[in-house]
Amino acid sequence: MRMNGILSLIVVMLLSTVLFAGVGDANVIRTGDTIQFCHNAQNAGDHVSIAQTSASNGQLSWNYTTKGAVYSSPIVSNGIVYVGSYDHNVYALNAATGAKVWNYTTGSHVYSSPTVANGIVYVGSDDHNVYALNAATGAKVWNYTTKGAVSYSWPAIVNGTVYVGSYDHNVYALNAATGAKVWSYDTGSVVYYSPIVANGIVYVGSYDYNVYALNAATGAKVWNYTTLGPVIRRPAFANGIVYVASDDHNVYALDANTGTKVWSYDTGDLMSSPTVANGIVYVGSDDHNVYALNAATGAKVWSFATNGVIWSAPGIANGIVYVGSWDNNVYALNATTGAKVWSYTIGNIVYTTTAISNGIVYVGGGGGVIYALNAATGAKVWSYDTGGPVSD
């Protein structure tokens, strides 16, 4: 696929929403904790810690309209929702009422999803900056300017360090308190998606076809593994193995310490970011299938065929895999067998990765409608029309 085609697809995939129902204690962190996209720095796919089994009251609590599309995935911390917008702003909204607490205006679009740690909101912008904002007031604590857009890379925060990728080909490690650069590593090509961090190592993909493992303290390269295509999706880590999807159509399992290939599985087409839970790797593919692969061997456990492309990274909670397809459906699949538990037709292409919280599955469609579905039955709890496309 040509680079401009990939870029356009990524832009489509990253649109998200600021609509919430039943926001409660299960998905709110405490001061001193860190919350970030995909819940942790390893990009594990199991949502069970926040998914819960109790449904919300089924009411749309509030909505907040920005002056531009929302590509950023919202984060909830201490009763506040933090989210970026195409209108150049980062917003802090009261999670119970939707009232604006503050907004901070950057110099360009904010596609990046915020990360919250120790009372600070970290977020990237297309104006080439990484920002640290006071979570209570929105006051700028610091900003660090790279030489490229910090678009689709969500900051990973580990041990007082911010790790983020940039279109200037670099992975950056910044002091979380001051913004001072600790180190940078030039991969030689665009770093689209976020790095992950596990056991003192930063793992990141690059458009130069490589997966890199970098020492989290120094930035020194530990190893790299070369695939046959751009690696633009975010890796996942579990039990000493790094899982990554390449545009060469393969899912790779690499030894986290050495970079040695443990196994690869060819789906025959492009894939979503992988997620890992309970010894199984889940990944969607352009060949219309959801695949479940044995995390240790790469053997196919099951596949489930939809009638459309799947760019949605699967979400897993309480033994169910939730995934959207371009055939206009959201699917709930038994995580062990792949049997369909339910499907719900939303009437438009499903670009988004599902979010699961308090017994509700949240998903957006290409027609601009946000749906809240009962996680157990697929029954619609509510829907809200944003008036524009919604994707993640």
Give the pLDDT score at 190: 79
Q: Which residues contact 65 (CB under 8 A, 6 or more apart)?
A: none
Q: What single DSSP character describes residue 136?
A: T
- Give yes or no for residue 62 having a pLDDT over 50: no
Mean pLDDT of 242-270: 95
12-48 residue pLDDT tens: 333 333 332 222 222 233 334 554 545 455 555 554 4
DSSP 68-80: S---SPPEEETTE
The token duo for 306 is: 């939809």
Give the pLDDT score at 352: 59
> Nearest 5 degrees, angle CA 328-CA 333-CA 335?
145
Beta bridge partners of 129: 145
- Give yes or no for residue 124 having a pLDDT over 70: yes
Give the pLDDT score at 265: 96
- Give yes or no for residue 278 having a pLDDT over 50: yes
Write the burial class of residue 303 (CB in 10 Å: 0-12 exposed, 13-18 middle, 19+ buried). middle
- Give yes or no for residue 68 having a pLDDT over 60: no
Give the pLDDT score at 391: 41
d(C-alpha 148, C-alpha 127), whole Å: 8
- Give yes or no for residue 101 having a pLDDT over 50: yes
The token duo for 102 is: 């503050």
Range with the largest mean pLDDT of 69-78, 195-204, 254-263, 370-379: 254-263
The sheet carrying 236-238 orders its strands as 236-238, 241-245, 250-255, 261-266
Q: Using an 8 Å Cβ cutoff, are 246 and 230 in contact?
A: yes
Q: Using an 8 Å Cβ cutoff, are 121 and 135 in contact?
A: yes
- pTM to 2 decimals? 0.77
Give the pLDDT score at 47: 46
- Give yes or no for residue 222 having a pLDDT over 70: yes
Give the pLDDT score at 358: 65
Write the burial class of residue 335 (CB in 10 Å: 0-12 exposed, 13-18 middle, 19+ buried). buried
Q: Which residues contact 73 (CB under 8 A, 6 or more apart)?
A: 16, 37, 83, 113, 154, 355, 392
* 135: three-class secondary structure by DSSP: coil
Give the pLDDT score at 21: 27
What residue ranges do the domains of the chain occupy? 268-392
Give the pLDDT score at 336: 96
User: Which of 131-145, 169-183, 210-224, 356-370 is the least confident region?
Assistant: 356-370
Q: Using an 8 Å Cβ cutoff, are 16 and 72 in contact?
A: yes
- Give yes or no for residue 118 having a pLDDT over 60: yes
Mean pLDDT of 313-323: 89
Write the burial class of residue 239 (CB in 10 Å: 0-12 exposed, 13-18 middle, 19+ buried). exposed
Q: What is the CA radius of gyration of the chain?
A: 19
Give the pLDDT score at 287: 94
d(C-alpha 374, C-alpha 111), whole Å: 28
> Which of residues 350 and 92 earns the better pLDDT score?
92
Mean pLDDT of 81-87: 72
* 226: three-class secondary structure by DSSP: strand
d(C-alpha 56, C-alpha 13), whole Å: 27
d(C-alpha 388, C-alpha 63), whole Å: 14
Nearest CA-CA partner of 86 in 120, 62, 112, 63? 112
> Which of residues 321 and 23 earns the better pLDDT score?
321
Range with the largest mean pLDDT of 43-52, 231-240, 252-261: 252-261
Q: Using an 8 Å Cβ cutoff, are 313 and 274 in contact?
A: yes
Give the pLDDT score at 60: 35
Give the pLDDT score at 259: 97
d(C-alpha 119, C-alpha 249), whole Å: 40
d(C-alpha 376, C-alpha 286), whole Å: 27
Give the pLDDT score at 206: 87
Give the pLDDT score at 25: 26
154-199 residue pLDDT tens: 788 999 999 988 878 889 999 999 999 999 999 888 776 778 899 9
The token duo for 95 is: 């999670």
329-380 residue pLDDT tens: 889 999 999 999 999 887 777 665 666 666 766 666 555 555 667 778 887 7
Q: Which residues contact 2 (CB under 8 A, 6 or more apart)?
A: none
> What is the H or E stretch that residue 317 is in?
strand 315-317
Using CA atoms of 203, 76, 122, 89 in order, give the dihedral in degrees to the nearest 10: 120
Q: What single DSSP character describes residue 4?
A: H
pLDDT confidence band for 73 (50 / 70 / 90) = low
Q: What is the mean pLDDT of the chain?
A: 77
**Class of 268-392 per CATH?**
mainly beta
